[in-house]
Amino acid sequence: MTTPHRHWKVLPHGKLKAIDDGILTVVGELRMPLMRLPRRMTVVRLHDSRLVVWSAIALDDTEMATLDAYGRPAFLVVPNAHHRLDARAWKARYPQMLVVAPPGARAKVAKVVPVDTAAPDFGDTDVEFTSVRGTHEREAALVVRTPNGATLVLNDLVGNIRRRSGIEGRLLGLTGFGGRTPRIPRVAKLALVEDADALRGQLLQWADIASLQRILVSHGEPIETNVRQTLRDLADSLA
């Protein structure tokens, strides 16, 4: 696991992009031994223009100015204990933010940044936080509803990095984050999945969201085609 940053440290990243009304996303890059791992931050704007920042990434001045113009950062969601890299720096920059972590990750996240709650009240019924069933409450998710449909925001539970060549591609394939189709990474199964049947039920519950338009994952491309069937396929992979 990469050592959490104590100060604002900008690593390679792209630009914030609107993916739906009230949802921005940006992809950064972590340099790891023998491979580059993409990582995604998602920003959700609540009805009162407060922002929920999911899996925070330290951005450059230009992108941070864009974010500040978008709304007021109010909630800092650390979706599992492995996504603490920039949490301390974000809390220092925006001390008024409430830090959120799922119950099963709270103790480890608190070693880096104090956690305010494991059950946030966003004051907006269109944005739902949940601790993912079957993960011993170590992994979180968001369901965000807009007039255009619903977006499911996941973290490490699903990987969708398109296949790469060489050693990098083989390593991503071995971990399960890379491949031709979305999958539950092997490392996530080992670190997060405690009850496969409960997780299967959770995936099928999300698949029943009739308005579901996309899934955003922390490592890989958005899933925007056959979204509900993809969740059913992922559930079947746990059988």
Summarize pLDDT for 151-196 with one digit per residue, the tens.
999 999 998 886 655 665 566 566 656 667 899 988 888 889 999 9
The tokens describing 56, both together, are: 């925070």
Question: In this structure, is residue 70 part of a structural domain?
Answer: yes
In the 8-state DSSP scheme, what is residue 53?
Answer: E
CA distance to 24, 69, 89, 93, 231, per residue, from 201 (Å): 29, 39, 36, 39, 10
Return the percent helix, strand and coil in the chain, to nearest 5: 25, 30, 45
Question: In this structure, is residue 44 part of a structural domain?
Answer: yes
Contacts of 145 (CB under 8 A, 6+ apart): 126, 127, 151, 211
pLDDT at residue 17 in the model: 98
pLDDT at residue 164 in the model: 57
Domain ranges, residue 85: 17-236
The pTM of the full predicted model, rounded to 2 decimals, is 0.93
pLDDT at residue 31 in the model: 81
pLDDT at residue 179 in the model: 67
Task: Work out how many domains the chain is built from and give that number.
Answer: 1
Question: In this structure, is residue 12 part of a structural domain?
Answer: no
CATH number, domain at 183? 3.60.15.10
Question: In this structure, is residue 129 part of a structural domain?
Answer: yes
The tokens describing 162, both together, are: 């398109």
pLDDT at residue 170 in the model: 62
pLDDT at residue 3 in the model: 86
Residue segments in the chain with a per-residue pLDDT below the cut of 50: none
Question: In this structure, is residue 49 part of a structural domain?
Answer: yes
